[in-house]
Amino acid sequence: MRRQPVLIFDGDCGFCTTSVGVVQRLVRPRCEVVAWQRVDLDALGVTEDRARYEALWVTPTGRVYGGAQAVAKILLSAGGVWAVPGAVLTLPPVRWAAHGAYRLVAENRMRLPGGTAACAVPGAKVPRP
């Protein structure tokens, strides 16, 4: 069993890589950070389709959170002032709105600063939280 959570992101996407770098510098989540292309997804209980679709937070016990809920877990893990917005992101209806906002950004990340054609999200759908 792992000792700390793992944040999985798309290492081929410039927007995602830049975002994760900013999060590591400013938020300082307590986790291992890895690109899905450089980790054994099977060992983490994650499919490649899901890793391509959204950022993922995998707990030491193997529970997987994706998208906006992964962001909430990042903030909660950092503690301090970051824990407040992290907790708020877990509450309905904020959780639902955050899911929609995350999907909007994820589906348009190739158009955002740092984005390239490699950032395009495939058409796979993951169930709503």
Segments making up each domain of the chain, as ranges: 6-115
Task: State percent of the chain over pLDDT 70.
Answer: 93
pTM passes above 0.85: yes
pLDDT of residue 113: 77
**In 40-74, which positions are buried (b, 16+ CB within 10 angstroms) versus exposed (e)?**
ebeebebeeebbbbbbbbbbeeeebbbbbbbbbbb
Euclidean distance between CA atoms 12 and 15, whole angstroms: 9
Label the pairing between strands 64-66 and 56-58.
antiparallel
Q: Is the pLDDT of residue 57 over 70?
A: yes
